[in-house]
Amino acid sequence: MPITELLERNARECPDEIALVEVNPEIKENRRVTWKEYELIEPDRESHYRREISWSVFNEKANRFANLLISRGVQKGDKVGILLMNCLEWLPIYFGALKMGALAVPLNFRYTADEIKYCLDLAEVDVLVFGPEFIGRIEEICDEISKNRLLFYVGEGCPSFAEHYDRLTANCSSVSPDVKLTDEDYAAIYFSSGTTGFPKAILHKHQSLMHSAKVEQNHHGQQKNDVFLCIPPLYHTGAKMHWFGSLYSCSKAVLLKGAKPEFIIDTVSKEKCTIVWLLVPWAQDILDAIDRGDIKIEDYELSQWRLMHIGAQPVPPSLISRWKKLFPNHQYDTNYGLSESIGPGCVHLGVENIHKVGAIGKAGFGWEVKITDENFVTVKKGEVGELCVKGPGVMTCYYRDEKATNETIKDGWLLTGDMAQEDEDGFIYLVDRKKDVIISGGENLYPVQIEDFLRAHPAVKDVAVIGLPDKRLGEIAAAIISIKDGMECSEEDINSFCAKLPRYKRPHKIIFADVPRNPTGKIEKPKLRKQYCGESLVEQQIKS
């Protein structure tokens, strides 16, 4: 059934129960308020604001937006772009678009004006909903994108080139529109993370969204009394599809604006969160803050927190070992997925398999997996090949890109571009991105393996390994290393530490610098290659 029916069910069966909470710990003077209904949750401070909506209000707001779109001539199959920071309006707008048969098209909030225009044109977006943080960027391209497009603005101080979402929807019907939807109807277009060039548009049906909700609930067992803390951006499939577990179980979710360690721990305590999805840097920051004494966990109510899970990138076993020492009662899980496979869960470790930390797991609920060579032949256990997945959550296609679709989907299998290997127990380990493999002196080097090794150094906060051109070897491995605050580390220290590695795997160059990551936690290696190799964007795209 279409994913919208879950929202209708929740509004019908538990109308007055809280669906979503937004918490904004930022200083009031440094942010833009998008709704007036903010409530101080700490009366003695002006820095912690909170607002919430019930399932019935959530559903009504979605219906009002759906009916607004219909009144403006938007039709089934049209596309609605969403360019918002995480907020209470985000999901009602998403579901409003789905309810009237449009496709929701979430946009990365880090896109430049040119990238926004590129994605709007690629996905053939008919309506754009944007917030106050994006006024400047939209103004830059307004003359080009406003032709034959509706522009709706969410927040105070509506610019002259857009219409005010709140005022318009207030006068629309809160009754669900009479639009028939099926599993086979198109539902959403997501964009690839763009770590290898311009993003691709990924088309999904309602079947994919519903399957992701079932996968999430099956893997993490969300019940009605669970509270999910959502920190990553909702435009990404990772955050959205983990939240689908809350939608499926009719349980509360908290949208936290900000990822500082004290924000996360404080919100878990105050909102009684039971499930938290973290990216590796955030988990690392929490542990470091506790080690420094900046956070004293005994000052918080954390006993209800039952599950911490991580996705979007390989997880260093040393990180989970540290975590379990501080939080011995936590269940731990990791999920692997791509936007092309509707986000997390096509491969899944499982809370019962913590002894296999470092692996991404086995096939997730309703999924099949295999590892193949360059001829699409399954390799033997222990051999490295490309990870392929198959299931109801595989994308329909790359929208308007038949060539890329045919290169990525073969006989229903999605070729992930990730190199992996399977151990004797059937658990899958990521080795690296196919495009990131370094060939040095004829040897294949997998940066993730070197990165995992270096993260075990007590002074290393984050690390990225890339290939640099070399006349003799073709490429050499270079490690860009970010050092923990208050610690010192030299090139000699790193080289001594790497003496445990086979000689051909040791980095030939050490660079101490920040490691750039996108909002979903992935290392931006094209940016590093451009910085240290001087590659142009065109050269990056050709190489990828």
Single pTM value for the model: 0.82
CA distance 263 to 254: 12
- Domains identified in the chain and CATH numbers: 4-241 (3.40.50.12780), 439-543 (3.30.300.30)
Q: What is the pLDDT of residue 530?
A: 82
Report yes or no: 277 and 230 within 8 Å, Cβ to Cβ: yes
Q: Are 102 and 58 in contact (CB under 8 A)?
A: no
pLDDT at position 538 over 50: no
pLDDT at residue 45 is higher than 70: no
Nearest of 114, 115, 74, 117 to residue 98 by alpha carbon: 74
- Per-residue pLDDT tens digits for 215-237: 999 999 999 999 999 998 999 88
Residue 262 has pLDDT above 70, yes or no: yes
Sign of CA dihedral 72, 77, 79, 84: positive
Q: What percent of the chain has pLDDT over 90?
A: 70
- Residue 542 confidence (pLDDT) above 70: no
Q: So what's the pLDDT on residue 29? A: 40
Reply yes or no on whether the pLDDT at 120 is more than 60.
Answer: yes
Please tell me the distance from the alpha carbon of residue 267 to that of residue 229, in angstroms, as a whole number: 8
Q: What is the pLDDT of residue 235?
A: 92
Please report, as a single letter, which amino acid is at residue 76: K
Q: In this predicted model, what pLDDT tens digit does every residue of 170-229 receive, in sequence order?
A: 999 999 999 999 999 999 999 986 544 578 999 999 999 999 999 999 999 999 999 999
The confidence score (pLDDT) of residue 197 equals: 54
What are 485-536's pLDDT values in tens digits?
889 999 999 999 999 887 878 999 999 999 988 766 778 887 888 888 864 3
How much is the pLDDT for 47?
46
Tell me how far apart the alpha carbons of residues 351 and 355 are, in angstroms, rounded to a whole number: 10
Task: Count the helices and strands in the chain (H runs, E runs).
Answer: 16, 28
Which pair of tokens denotes residue 111? 């896109």
CB count within 10 Å of CB 16 equals 8
